[in-house]
Amino acid sequence: MSFIGRYSPPGDKSITHRILILSAISKGSCKIEYALKADDTMATLNALKAMGVEFDVEENIIVKGVGLKGLKRPKSEIDCKNSATSMRLLAGILVGQDFDSILIGDKSLSKRPMKRIIEPLTLMGANIKSDDNEHPPLFINPSEGLHPIEYELTVPSAQVKSAIMLASLYTGEVSTIFESKESRNHTEMMLDYFYSNDFKVDEYTVPGDFSSAAFFIAGALLSKGSELLVENVGLNPTRIGLLEVLQRMNANIDVQDIKLKNNELVGNLLIKHSSLDGTEVYSEEIPTMIDEIPMLAILAAFANGETIIRDLGELRAKETDRLQAIFSALDALGVDVRIEEDDLYIKGGKIKPAILNAEGDHRLEMAFEILKAVSKVDIEIRGGNVSSVSYPDFYKDFNKIWRTK
């Protein structure tokens, strides 16, 4: 069995969140093609719908923009479900409204850090708080007026950066954000695209999600006889750190047909089975591949030599403590693995049968499923059935391309 054929990944999750929000507060209707319809992105859509934004959701999504100040007070709390992106980005536009709002989430989201947005938004004059100044729910009241700020990010987070940028739309002036490590720049690219079109975009095509494609890219690299063409995948330089690391690891990946669409780079990737070598992944690279670390860790377990992945502290603030969960899984598989502070050390070698716990984390579940497919040992996965958070068709796509020639 190998990963064979042509594969188009689902629409990019990060970009879908942002185009839903920006088109909702734009001047007119926007037809969004290939938007991701997953649990996380639907949390954003339903939140906007609760504030009076009208949508037509069929094959494509049509958003009827209400303008910067056209949102209406929701009748109840806004439930962001499991989506930290929804909560942090929506907070950026809600602090500029003239009504009260409360953002809540599920058990997992209620443990995610929110001080990182509360602090800069408060410095802008926003009236936003939580019970403990750290975790959801978030309580937002009208402010006396927002003003621009100069702010240095304390963590390399595109969500924090985006919350500040969205709030800045309500200042009428320019805020300046400094980041020591470059994080995803989808909000910058999209705002530039909207402004170049007088904040009215009629159509927008969402590129394929590189983070979702990463699972099958890894599977193709690890399974003999694989030849997989990944089509129309987003190749934004701030998102493809994994691609660059894999090329260092001797991965057979051919990048083809790159083009620019809606300010985002899109192209195809031809993946073939490869014998991988260990490498070192540096601190400044982590923000460009933060969601792909579970899959990279599994690739490292099959590579020749040692792989060192630096500065993974941010993984502890995901849906679960992903760093510890990755360590526990690899250790159960008999892999030579250790954590030193926030650095992960993995020596490639043989793996043994194991029971792995995805701990309700969608990216761990999908990474473990790829591992189960390509390994030749018995692996049981528990704590899964949550791939719909980011990739509802994961198993459907898996079954299409995991086959014999």
What is the CATH number for 102? 3.65.10.10
- Residues 311, 180 within the same domain: no
> Is the same domain home to 315 and 234?
yes
> What's the predicted TM-score (pTM) here?
0.96
What is the pLDDT at residue 76? 97
Residue 194: closest CA among 165, 229, 235, 224: 165
Burial 139-149 (b: 16+ CB within 10 A, else e): ebbebeebbbb
Identify whether 291 is a catalytic site residue: yes
Q: Which region holds residue 263: left if phi is over 0, alpha if psi is between -120 and 50, else beta?
A: left
Domain range for 301 is 207-403
- C-alpha angle with apex 371: 367 to 375, nearest 5 degrees? 175
Q: Is residue 196 part of a domain?
A: no
Q: Measure the CA–CA gap between 267 and 256, rounded to whole angstroms.
A: 6
For residues 229 and 351, membership in a common domain is answered with yes
Distance CA 110, CA 318 (A): 11
Does one domain contain both 340 and 299?
yes
Looking at the structure, tell me whether residues 127 and 27 fall in a common domain.
yes
Residue with tokens 């695209």: 193
CB within 8 A of 40, min separation 6: which ones? Answer: 13, 17, 81, 82, 83, 85, 86, 389, 390
Residue type for position 320 = T
Mean pLDDT for all residues in the chain: 96
Considering the domain architecture, whether residues 178 and 222 belong to the same structural domain is answered as: no
At 44-78, the pLDDT tens digits run 999 999 999 999 998 899 999 999 999 999 999 99
* Count of domains for the chain: 2
Please check whether residues 129 and 223 belong to one and the same domain: no
Q: What are the residues whose beta carbons fall under 8 Å from the beta carbon of 16, sequence distance 6 or more? A: 32, 35, 36, 41, 44, 206
Active-site residue, selected from the candidate residues 39, 79, 209, 291? 291
Report d(CA 64, CA 28) in Å as an integer. 6
Per-residue pLDDT of 6-37, as tens digits, reads: 999 999 999 999 999 999 999 899 999 999 99
Q: What is the pLDDT of residues 300-353, one digit of tens each?
A: 999 999 999 999 999 998 888 999 999 999 999 999 999 999 999 999 999 999
CB contact at 8 A, 80 and 51: no
